[in-house]
Amino acid sequence: MGHGIRCMWMRGGTSKGAYFLDTDLPEAATERDDLLLRIMGSPDPSQIDGLGGGHPLTSKVAIVSRSQDSNADVDFLFAQVSVDKALVDTTPNCGNILAGVGPFAIDRGLVQATGTTTRVRVKTLNTGTLAELVVSTPGGRVCYSGDERIDGVPGTAAAIPINFLDAEGSVCGSLLPTGNQVDLVCGVEATCIDQGMPVVILRACDVGLSGSESCAEIEAATDTLRKIEAIRLEAALRMGMGDVSNAVVPKVALVSAPQNGGVIQTRSLIPKRCHASIGVFAAASIATACVLPGTVVHQLASIPEGNVKRMNIEHPSGVFSVRLEIGGSESNPVVERVGIVRTARAIFDGFVFPRDRSGTIASQFTQGAIIE
């Protein structure tokens, strides 16, 4: 028997995904993941029979609920639904999808609007991190329109400032999980860092690339990708993450000298596809690594002056700005605060009909609880 499940499809930053209330999904993780695969149309390279767009950036899910933590308003569980595998990964965080959680929470009545702007404190259950989102709510309603432009998204929308309250060591427990600014991994120098997202940073030249390649060129370099994946798997072991062959973290970032007035040029792998732009937390991790002496990226970076730095991270679609507040000393800087600005937009709100387990299309419309 089929069912319809309430769902909001949203763009968050440079990603798209399905947003659900946790009460509209099964409690058991195995049942929930099976349902999400059928909703997104996985496993299938085109995801033709579901919501997914055939790419990791358009095969994401947010599950939102009122928080039991006094420090947060809502809890957010992120799920990366594999495109061509029957795999749902709730290991990583996603700062782009996070950008839509505040508006979604207000639209669903989990948080009441408080004036022209509403602050929504979000606890990400994947990593335990806290973030504060500032959502435009004139007249007590979410406003998605505005003049903020982010590279990788056409047009403009309302700005959603995001302040990360405790991103450092979110997954691995420390900013530099190996204890080193540089490790030699499979014969290649790497910086392993976790500022909201575990990232293995490599100089592009060290794997035979210039760093200015298009995503298509990188994805066509199969021998290089195999080498990078071997580095990622070994680095993950050193970071205390175990076997990550079926996980999307840690990410890999290829860095090179900036080409367009930014701080650093990047190509981000997620992990086997090249990101059309860059993930929020990956950008935060790379920006942090830029200011730390001794990392593989520090010597390449063009770092702005001052204790408050706007770090423009170049990526294939433009730049991504990270705001860092720096303390400590010049020889031993400490990143005290990390923030960004994203945008989001509700694309549709309604009911999604997942493919049933036999592969046919569900047909019965049922609001609320799932009926099997």
CATH architecture for the domain at 183-339? Roll (3.10)
Query: Where do we find the tokens 């899910």?
Result: 61
Q: Please tell me if the domain spanning 5-159+344-352 has the same topology as the one spanning 183-339.
A: yes
Task: Please tell me the distance from the alpha carbon of residue 223 to that of residue 230, in angstroms, as a whole number.
Answer: 11
Task: Please tell me the distance from the alpha carbon of residue 210 to that of residue 257, in angstroms, as a whole number.
Answer: 10
Query: Which pLDDT score is estimated for 371?
Result: 28
Query: Which pLDDT score is estimated for 359?
Result: 55
Query: Which pLDDT score is estimated for 233?
Result: 98
Task: Please tell me the distance from the alpha carbon of residue 327 to that of residue 330, in angstroms, as a whole number.
Answer: 9
DSSP codes of every residue in 68-103: SSTT-SEEEEEEEE-SSSS-EE-SS--HHHHHHHHH
Task: Please tell me the distance from the alpha carbon of residue 143 to that of residue 41, in angstroms, as a whole number.
Answer: 31
Task: Please tell me the distance from the alpha carbon of residue 45 to that of residue 84, in angstroms, as a whole number.
Answer: 5
Q: Is the pTM of this model over 0.85?
A: no
User: What does each of the 372 residues of the chain score in pLDDT, given as a tens digit?
Assistant: 357 999 999 999 999 999 999 999 999 999 999 999 999 999 999 999 999 999 999 999 999 999 999 999 999 999 999 999 999 999 889 999 999 999 999 999 999 999 999 999 999 999 899 999 999 999 999 999 999 999 989 999 999 999 998 889 989 999 999 999 999 999 999 999 999 999 999 999 999 999 999 999 999 999 999 999 999 999 999 999 999 999 989 999 999 999 999 999 999 998 889 999 999 999 999 999 999 999 999 999 999 999 999 999 999 999 999 999 999 998 899 999 899 999 999 999 999 999 988 655 443 333 333 322
The domains of the chain are located at: 5-159+344-352, 183-339
Superfamily of domain 5-159+344-352: Diaminopimelate Epimerase; Chain A, domain 1 (3.10.310.10)
Sign of CA dihedral 216, 220, 226, 228: negative
Query: Which pLDDT score is estimated for 265?
Result: 98
